[in-house]
């Protein structure tokens, strides 16, 4: 099967998420890194793209140059990844979708709900794929959890509790580090800091595993480092459309917590826990029964959990291969086989509606508010 051409915007040398995209996209041989505008500094971006093997005429100084250079090539990119800071996602994603490219956009997809709705409409109109990188949803044991809920293994879900709380922005003396600062600067990050950065992964995960959507929420935000305009800690209570009760804590000042992303789902006949720091295991307890450790790669798992695991039982697979699972499903979708579970622009829009609702709720003292995007009400 011919390889697909892949282009990347952002994710330059030293960036946080760039390496995971390159490892993920290239892991299964579906894609070749054919083009890139990798850095906000044109020369640095060109040089790094060439160092990664991109031909000189496709190592671009910025994304507008890349769009102009790629759009009429016979071998143009089959997929473009947008891995720049949040405030740039909308214009880049929109421009590439409108030019007929498939796009994988980093989260949060946009910074406003209106922009999110526009992306959903453009993706619908052009028929191009617009996926959003909720990569944690592609871990095999997360797919097992989703399949267990779908198959009724824990009964109706009563309660979901999720945390994405780390301590890596907890050092006040590092608050001016440019790679930290933009996340709390409304001009670069939008209306929300930590909730839009990490909280939406947790919220997406709750929806993804419970196979349900967030309907309303109540939020409490705090900026615990005084120089920060946007919140670095948030507690969000929510309800899903089928009545499931949701609790979410997200923080970047929880010193001692490392990655700090976990989820517990409690149903009428059982419950389970998954954590990104032990992603190979799902800890499952049937009501009245013993707690079991379900292990990636063991017999008897649901199909999607089997499909998305490549290495043998007990071998760690980890974050880049979860990202690779997103790229595998994108490659299938580009070749015409749509896979259930690939996070789409609709998920990106729902997150953005939740972010804006949480900001408004926090300002209103935690008032409960409708968290659905107007387009989906």
Q: How far apart are CA 88 and CA 106, in angstroms?
A: 10
Site string for ligand NAI, 177-216 (x = CB under 6 A): --x-----------------x-------------------
Q: How far apart are CA 193 and CA 199, in angstroms?
A: 9
Cis peptide before 108 (omega within 30 of 0): yes
- Nearest distance from C-beta of residue 75 to ligand NAI, angstroms: 22
- Nearest distance from C-beta of residue 201 to ligand NAI, angstroms: 6
Q: Is residue 115 close enough to count as binding ligand NAI by CB under 6 A?
A: no
Residue 37 or 254 with smaller CB distance to ligand NAI:
37
Residue 16 or 338 with smaller CB distance to ligand NAI:
16
Three-state DSSP at 252 gives: coil
- For the chain, how are helix, strand and coil distributed in percent, rounded to 5? 40, 25, 40
- Bridge-partner residues for 102, per DSSP? 79
Residue 18 DSSP label: H
Segment interacting with ligand NAI, rule: CB under 6 A, options 7-15, 148-156, 202-210, 226-234 = 7-15
Tally of residues, the chain: 377
Residue 165 or 218 with smaller CB distance to ligand NAI:
165
- Output the residue with the shortest Cβ distance to ligand NAI: 12
Residue 5 or 133 with smaller CB distance to ligand NAI:
133
- Nearest distance from C-beta of residue 132 to ligand NAI, angstroms: 9
How many residues in the shown chain lie near ligand NAI by CB under 6 A? 25
* Nearby residues of 354 by Cβ (< 8 Å), 6 or more positions away: 200, 203, 214, 217, 238, 371
Residue pair 80/105 in contact (Cβ under 8 Å)? The answer is no
- Nearest distance from C-beta of residue 315 to ligand NAI, angstroms: 22
Phi first, then psi, for residue 269 (nearest 5°) are: -125, 15
Among 7, 12, 267, 320, binds ligand NAI (CB under 6 A): 12
Q: How far apart are CA 336 and CA 327, in angstroms?
A: 14
Residue 278 or 285 with smaller CB distance to ligand NAI:
278
Q: Segment 31-90, which members bind ligand NAI (CB under 6 A)?
A: 37-40, 62-63, 83-86, 88
Exposure letters 179-190 (e unless 16+ CB within 10 A, then b): ebbebbbeebbb
Residue 18 or 270 with smaller CB distance to ligand NAI:
18
Site string for ligand NAI, 120-159 (x = CB under 6 A): -------------x-x------------------------
- Nearest distance from C-beta of residue 83 to ligand NAI, angstroms: 5
Q: What is the contact surface with ligand NAI in residues (CB under 6 A)? A: 9-12, 15-18, 37-40, 62-63, 83-86, 88, 106-107, 133, 135, 179, 197
């Amino acid at each position: 099967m011919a390889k697909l051409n892949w282009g990347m915007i952002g994710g330059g040398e030293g960036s946080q998420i760039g390496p995971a995209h390159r490892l993920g996209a290239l892991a299964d041989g579906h894609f070749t890194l054919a083009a890139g505008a990798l850095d906000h500094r044109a020369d640095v971006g060109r040089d790094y793209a060439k160092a990664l093997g991109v031909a000189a005429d496709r190592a671009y100084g910025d994304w507008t140059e890349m769009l102009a250079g790629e759009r009429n090539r016979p071998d143009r990119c089959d997929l473009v990844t947008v891995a720049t800071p949040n405030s740039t996602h909308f214009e880049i994603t929109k421009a590439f979708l409108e030019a007929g490219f498939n796009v994988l956009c980093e989260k949060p997809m946009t910074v406003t709900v209106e922009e999110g709705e526009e992306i959903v409409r453009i993706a619908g109109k052009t028929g191009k794929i617009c996926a959003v990188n909720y990569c944690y949803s592609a871990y095999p044991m997360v797919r097992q959890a989703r399949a267990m809920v779908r198959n009724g293994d824990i009964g109706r879900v009563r309660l979901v509790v999720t945390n994405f709380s780390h301590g890596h922005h907890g050092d006040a003396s590092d608050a001016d580090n440019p790679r930290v600062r933009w996340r709390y600067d409304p001009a670069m990050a939008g209306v929300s800091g930590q909730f839009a950065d990490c909280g939406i992964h947790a919220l997406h995960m709750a929806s993804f595993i419970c196979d349900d959507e967030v309907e309303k929420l109540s939020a409490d935000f705090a900026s615990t480092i005084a120089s920060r305009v946007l919140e670095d800690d948030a507690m969000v209570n929510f309800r899903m459309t089928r009545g499931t009760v949701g609790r979410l804590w997200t923080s970047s000042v929880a010193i001692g917590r490392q990655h700090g992303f976990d989820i517990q789902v409690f149903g009428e006949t059982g419950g389970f826990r998954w954590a990104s720091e032990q992603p190979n295991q799902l800890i499952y307890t049937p009501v009245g029964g013993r707690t079991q450790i379900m292990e990636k790669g063991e017999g008897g798992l649901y199909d999607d959990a089997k499909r998305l695991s490549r290495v043998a039982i007990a071998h760690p697979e980890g974050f880049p291969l979860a990202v690779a699972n997103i790229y595998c499903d994108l490659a299938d979708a580009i070749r015409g086989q749509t896979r259930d579970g690939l996070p789409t622009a609709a998920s990106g829009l729902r997150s953005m509606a939740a972010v804006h609702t949480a900001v408004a709720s926090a300002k209103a003292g935690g008032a409960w508010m409708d968290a659905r995007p107007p387009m989906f009400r």
